[in-house]
Amino acid sequence: MRILIQNGEVVTASDQFTAEVLIDGEKVVAVGQNLGVTNADKVYDATGHLVIPGGIDVHCHLDMPFMGTRSKDDFFTGTRAAISGGTTSIIEFCIPSKGGTIKQALADWDAKSAPKACCDYSFHMAIVDWNEGIRKELDSVFERGITSFKVFTAYKGALMLSDEEIFRLMLEVKARGGLVTAHAVNGDVLTVLADKFGAEGKLTPHYHPLCQPGYAEGEATGRILELGNLAGQPAYIVHMTAKEAVEELVRARARGWESLGEVCTQHLTLDDSLYDLPDFEGAKYVMSPPLRKKADQEALWAALANGTIQVVGTDHCTFDFKGGKDMGRDDFRKIPNGLNGIEERMSMLFSYGVKSGKIPMTKFVEVTATNPAKIFGLYPQKGHISPGADADVVIYNPNKEGVISAKTHNSACDYNVYEGWKILGAPHTVFVRGKVAYENGKFVGEAGNGRFLARAAGKPQLAMV
């Protein structure tokens, strides 16, 4: 099947130009003006539209086991939502159970992803125990094409590793050419403050962000970046939320350390006043690290615009309000952490980043697709539109007006944190490896079409300082 997209404005991480894009089968085979193609099976007229690489969301959790239940979106509804928002690849976190093996975790994650995924996907490997057994399994992780790891400095007694354990992991990962990513908030501070609020009977969602102040995030961020520097190993901070954390990343990069950062849509657009909504509605926004202040949002936007932060992710991890979030009605510490974003990331960033003048269109492509591919070993297969790349292409209507609502979203969750938010700009047609998976407001993809993406080891393919 040869598909020709004509008259669109192709956008890359560095340029924007009018060009034709020729897709043959699963690949882009030509980009240029007047390609002279006469034998296309289908021609799309993209006049007035942008033609951009499919987004890559490197931070999501689908069908994740949690407190005896599972997060609401599985690999079908989650990737359906992703594609409908213009995202065509995701990286999910494979999380071994405490005391369990990586082998078992991979078997579990393979079983729930392969039959259901509608777009391509890969896994980061979370390390929640450090012992000789896990260390010995690391080679098999790289053999699977999983080259990025995740550690937690928070969730003491559950997911948290000590500095010694993180540093040992970094040295092992360095020897194999991978990347260590971290959820960086001081876990001891969080535990003490949560216990203190609990003992004082302060149990409403209002206290959720107060357990993990910006400085507790800044401290752990600086510590992880320092450990990475000591190990000679690139370190990547996931879901940065606080200006104190941004300051640490600025300092690390100024010192020439290989330090990278990610921000999620909600931390750019939502603030902590939402925790005080009546009727327990604040629980909808409980995630960690929490929503912060407007001043933090400004610091994050500036860091995104000037290149201090390289990636926009979502941490998409949904739980219904009824039967999920309300498990913590009497105690915020029991509220399942997480919220939606996999479908809204591109439109929110386009509307409130590009259209509002905070970032240029090339930066939009860079942080939603190109940098994620370059950092996580998917470039040049993914993350840009050029000959030889997978035909993950979005024909994007920059003038389409819409309003986000749980009534119309593609997630299975019973609410949406962006309910009522106006958006300007939305995908018109989304190709997943050359196949139309979304068109004219409708998802037309299929479960099982997504393939596991084995990724290459090696340093991130972008300038890190």
Note the residues at the interface with Zn ion (CB under 5 A).
315
Q: Which is nearer to Zn ion, 262 or 315 (CB)?
A: 315
Q: Which is nearer to Zn ion, 60 or 141 (CB)?
A: 60
Q: DSSP secondary structure string, 232-248?
A: T--EEE-S---HHHHHH
Q: How far apart are CA 261 and CA 175, in angstroms?
A: 22
DSSP state for residue 90 in the 8-state scheme: E
Residues 334, 401 contacting (CB under 8 angstroms) = no
The residue number with the shortest CB distance to Zn ion is 315
Q: DSSP secondary structure string, 353-410?
A: IITTTSS-HHHHHIIIIIHHHHHTT-TTTSSS-STTSB--EEEEEEEEEEE--TTT-S
Look at the block and give the residue holding tokens 């969080």.
Answer: 190
Q: Give the shortest CB-80-to-Zn ion separation in angstroms.
A: 20
Q: Which is nearer to Zn ion, 116 or 150 (CB)?
A: 150
Q: How far apart are CA 246 and CA 307, in angstroms?
A: 11
Q: Give the shortest CB-123-to-Zn ion separation in angstroms.
A: 13
Q: Which is nearer to Zn ion, 13 or 339 (CB)?
A: 339
Q: Which is nearer to Zn ion, 315 or 390 (CB)?
A: 315
Tokens of 46: 């993209």
Residues 417, 405 contacting (CB under 8 angstroms) = no
Q: Which is nearer to Zn ion, 6 or 314 (CB)?
A: 314
Q: Give the shortest CB-105-to-Zn ion separation in angstroms.
A: 16
Q: Give the shortest CB-240-to-Zn ion separation in angstroms.
A: 12
Residues 262, 183 contacting (CB under 8 angstroms) = no
Q: Which is nearer to Zn ion, 74 or 315 (CB)?
A: 315
Q: Which is nearer to Zn ion, 266 or 269 (CB)?
A: 266
Residue 442, C-beta contacts closer than 8 angstroms, at least 6 positions apart = none
Question: HSE (CB half, 13 Å, CA atoms) of 296?
Answer: 26
Q: Which is nearer to Zn ion, 26 or 108 (CB)?
A: 108
Q: How far apart are CA 308 and CA 326, in angstroms?
A: 37
Q: Give the shortest CB-266-to-Zn ion separation in angstroms.
A: 12
Q: Give the shortest CB-273-to-Zn ion separation in angstroms.
A: 23
Residue type, 115: P
Q: Give the shortest CB-67-to-Zn ion separation in angstroms.
A: 16
Among candidates 67, 144, 151, 71, which has minimal Cα distance to 110?
Answer: 144
Q: Give the shortest CB-16-to-Zn ion separation in angstroms.
A: 32
Q: How far apart are CA 146 and CA 181, in angstroms?
A: 13
Q: Give the shortest CB-3-to-Zn ion separation in angstroms.
A: 35
